[in-house]
Amino acid sequence: MRRNLPRRWTCLILGGALLMPYMMAGVLVAGLWRGASPDLLMPIQVGVFVAVLPVVAVTGLFLPVRALEVNAAQGLLGARVETPPRQARRSWQERRRTAAWFTLHLAVGGVVSGFTLAVVPFTMFTMALPVIGEPMPVLGLTAEPGWPSVLWAAAGVGALALLVAGAAGAGALLAALAPPLLGPTPAERLAAAEDHARTLAERNRLARELHDSVGHALSVVTLQAAAAGRVLDRDPATARTALAAIEQSARAALEDLDHVLGVLREDTRADGRADAHADGRDDAGADAGEDGREGRREGHREAGEEGRRAPQATLADLPALVAGSGAEVRQDVGDLSGVPAVVSREAYRILQEALTNAIRHGGGTVRLAAAVQGEDLRLEVSNASGRHGERHGERHGGRRRRGGGRGVDGMRERVRLLRGDLRAGPDEDGWTVSVRLPLRPSP
């Protein structure tokens, strides 16, 4: 309390200074209304003070004073005010809160400032009375030399102590009311939560894309490297073909990885700028905090747009996916030209993950089917598993991966977002992934 008192007192004096133009205008209007000469140097009338408070509230509704008040509350009152996000249009809920705080700040600050201007000179004058040693008029009374002047000095010190206690209480009151009145409104918190949710959704999408792309590429690289090692001596041409497939898959995965890391780096940089502003809010003020939050949202928005602008594979790229997998795939693909773009992109990733799992854990020929049936897109990938898969892994010099991955979970999440159905599990022939995706969103 003692450490914050000087700064809080300064904040109260600032409120009194902001109130002075209203008081002077009120005294001028009151003087003209009474027909008397207005005294602009002594605007202390209680009636004028009460009359100008509604005017202060109205100006708080429309003037952009929130940033100034947040700055004062954070830097002078020491209040932990969460920096509100900047919005294109101010809501009336925010305007009412800001007006209430602005009126309270100026009203309390005006009272404390008035008593400060009166009590401090009064205390200094009364403390000088015992030294003067002559009768002096004080508040309409006469302070005689001797003990009466000492009593007047004690009264002056008591008045100063009451002023300090009142200023401390007023500062604590404003510091307690600053967070609920100047902080984000429920609507602003909801908007921030939605923005955060969009950011998490975008990051989750990028994680799924990276998992599908890099996981598929590594599976293809493992398979082709094993094949190249087996035929390197007796069939160099086939080995070169396998190595070319490895190069192509690795380059594609590297491009996807570089793109995703670039998007996340820009996103993290925007978060860092916002956090730097928030850490230095006592020096830079509320404007810096708002700029930081705006920069964060802008960075997230740019990252999302960058992610959407990046070329994404669709079912039209399915032949290239199968050709580059290095596995023996028997395809049964119908006409997919009428599949919507969103469904086509997600279907491609589902087939990519299913094909990756078939290469990694299965053996023998992979059967892949994709066709439009009525209002749905049907996908199916099946292959031999179990012992065949183990022998397949041994023949290719690889080791079966222990533990489960995120492949099936990622496919299930994509299907759920499109309100489709997924079945993945063993059957009499091995392992089958069967998916149904609606072509049009259901009502």
What is the distance between the terminal CA atoms of the chain, rounded to a whole angstrom?
60
The pLDDT assigned to 177 comes to 94
Confidence of residue 270 (pLDDT cuts 50, 70, 90): low
Pick the residue with more confidence: 4 or 157? 157
CA distance 278 to 188: 17
The pLDDT assigned to 443 comes to 54
CA distance 123 to 227: 97
DSSP 187-245: HHHHHHHHHHHHHHHHHHHHHHHHHHHHHHHHHHHHHHHHHHHHHTTT-HHHHHHHHHH
Confidence of residue 169 (pLDDT cuts 50, 70, 90): very high
Q: Given a cut of 50, is residue 11 above it in pLDDT? A: yes
Percent of the chain with pLDDT over 90: 27
The pLDDT assigned to 156 comes to 92
The pLDDT assigned to 229 comes to 83
Q: Given a cut of 50, is residue 277 above it in pLDDT? A: no
Bridge partner residues of 330 (DSSP):
367
Is the dihedral angle over the CA atoms 119, 124, 127, 132 positive or is it negative? negative
Pairing assessment for the beta strands 329-333 and 363-373 based on DSSP bridges: parallel
For residue 86, the 8-state DSSP code is P
Pick the residue with more confidence: 34 or 364? 364
Q: Given a cut of 70, is residue 385 above it in pLDDT? A: no
Confidence of residue 40 (pLDDT cuts 50, 70, 90): very low
The pLDDT assigned to 16 comes to 93
The pLDDT assigned to 157 comes to 95
Confidence of residue 252 (pLDDT cuts 50, 70, 90): confident
Q: Which pairs with CB-CB distance under 8 Å and at least 24 residues apart come from 265-269?
A: 266/299, 266/302, 266/303, 266/306, 267/199, 267/203, 267/299, 267/300, 267/303, 269/299
Q: Which pairs with CB-CB distance under 8 Å and at least 24 residues apart come from 382-385?
A: 382/358, 382/427, 382/429, 382/430, 382/431, 382/432, 382/433, 383/358, 383/430, 383/431, 384/429, 384/430, 384/431, 385/361, 385/426, 385/430, 385/431
Of the listed ranges 8-22, 379-393, 405-419, the one predicted with least confidence: 379-393
Confidence of residue 376 (pLDDT cuts 50, 70, 90): very high
Confidence of residue 283 (pLDDT cuts 50, 70, 90): very low
Of the listed ranges 83-97, 109-123, 126-140, 325-339, the one predicted with least confidence: 83-97
The pLDDT assigned to 338 comes to 86
Pick the residue with more confidence: 1 or 440? 440
Token pair, residue 250, equals 């690795």
Please provide residue 312's backbone torsions phi and psi, each rounded to the nearest 5 degrees. Answer: -120, 140
Mean pLDDT of the chain: 78
Q: Given a cut of 60, is residue 394 above it in pLDDT? A: no
Pick the residue with more confidence: 366 or 201? 366
Which amino acid, residue 307? Answer: G
Confidence of residue 292 (pLDDT cuts 50, 70, 90): very low
Range among 23-37, 213-227, 291-305, 360-374 with highest mean pLDDT value: 360-374
Confidence of residue 99 (pLDDT cuts 50, 70, 90): very high
CA distance 131 to 116: 24
Tens-place pLDDT, residues 198-232 = 777 777 776 776 776 677 677 777 777 877 788 88
**Neighbour count for residue 175 (Cβ, 10 Å):** 19
The pLDDT assigned to 251 comes to 76
Range among 58-72, 270-284, 286-300, 353-367 with highest mean pLDDT value: 58-72
